[in-house]
Amino acid sequence: MSMLNSVLSKLENVLAAGSLAAAAALAILQVLLRTLFGQVLFWSEEAIIYLVISATFFGAVIALRHNEHVSVDILSTLLKERGRRVLGYVAVLLTLFYFGVIGWFAWVLMFEPSSRLTNTPALDLPLWVVMLPVPIGFTLLFLRTAEILGRMLRGRDPYPEAAETLLQAEGGAPLDKSQLEPDEPDDPDGERLATDQPGEGNKENDR
């Protein structure tokens, strides 16, 4: 089971990063060919778009594993410990429902005549082929959310791959304590600044 999981993770990574890399490489090639040799690849814009769409729906799965999808967690700050836990479960269940139901209708869409019989203008591929990342992506999002729910129920860390903070997710690290001056809770500078400066702004406003 855990081996299957790690193979799936690898596959998600390769599909997302690979699509992005291919989109970037093709976009670079397109500009170089046009500006240096005056050649136009008539199919490249379309291919770039579909690669970016594929990178988005597969990348969304990895972002979910790393808990990097932005959420605005305001309601739970108003609640006590128990309410917060209940809200956490409600949120995961609603997310699971959304991914599940849209995933289902995305598969239905694949079999509709509009997707089977229409071809894309430049690449001449059937529409369902380039749309495939949508149902697959949503199915994976559904499975990963179910996995997160399972970890929550067993009292484990729901996001073992996640960075601790937004800072680490952005690729930064907390600064070395020795580089910062000792923390003064009521920094007199800070106080003066807070009352001083808005006056500064008003002056400019009056001008």
Partner 1 sequence: MTAAAITLFVTLFILLFSRIPVAAALGLTSFVYIFYFTTIPLTQIPETLFNALNSFPMAAIPLFVLAATVMSHGGISNRLIKAGLAAVGQFRGGLAITTVISCIFFAAISGSSPATVVAVGTLMIPAMINSGYGKDFSTGLVATSGSLGILIPPSIPLIVYGIATEQSIGDLFLAGLVPGLLAGVMLLLMVLVVSRRRGYGTGEGAITMTREEKIQAMRDSILSLLLPAIVLGGIYGGFFTPTEAAAMAVFYSLIVSVFVYRELSVKSLGEVLLKSSRMSAMIMFIIANGILFSFVLTAERIPGQVTEAMMAMDLEPWTFLLLVTAILLIAGCFMETSSAILIFAPIFFPIAIELGINPVHLGIIMVMNLEIGMLTPPLGFNLFVASGLSGMSVLRVAKAVIPSAAVLLVALLLVTFIPEISLLLVDG
Query: Looking only at residues 74 through 93 of this chain, which bind partner 1 when binding is defined by CB under 8 A?
Result: 74-77, 87-88, 90-92
Please, which contacts does 171-180 make with residues 24 or more away whose CB atoms are closer than 8 Å?
A: none
**Interaction between residue 106 and partner 1 (CB under 8 A):** yes
Residue 128 binds partner 1, judged by CB under 8 A: no
Q: Which of 1, 4, 124, 196 binds partner 1 (CB under 8 A)?
A: 196
Distance CA 95, CA 87 (A): 12
Q: Measured between alpha carbons, how far is 143 from 100 in angstroms, rounded to an integer? A: 9
Say which residue the tokens 């992506």 belong to: 137
* Alpha-carbon radius of gyration of the chain: 24
Contact region for partner 1 (CB under 8 A) — 3-11, 49-57, 150-158? 49-57
Based on the shown chain and the rule CB under 8 A, indicate whether residue 139 belongs to the binding site for partner 1.
no
* Contact range with partner 1 by CB under 8 A, out of 3-11, 24-32, 148-156: 24-32
Choose, by CB under 8 A, the member of 9, 56, 122, 146 that binds partner 1. Answer: 56
Residue range at the interface with partner 1 (CB under 8 A); choices 2-10, 29-37, 148-156: 29-37
Q: Is 138 in the site for partner 1 (CB under 8 A)?
A: yes
CA angle 192, 194, 195 (to 5 degrees): 70
Closest by CA position to 141, among listed 68, 55, 58: 58
Q: How far is the CB of 57 from partner 1 (least distance, A)?
A: 8
The DSSP letter of residue 59 is: H
Q: Between residues 156 and 167, which has the closer beta carbon with respect to partner 1?
A: 167
Residues making up the chain, counted from first to last: 207
Out of 8, 17, 33, 146, which residue is the one contacting partner 1 (CB under 8 A)?
Answer: 17
What's the token pair of residue 158? 């729901």
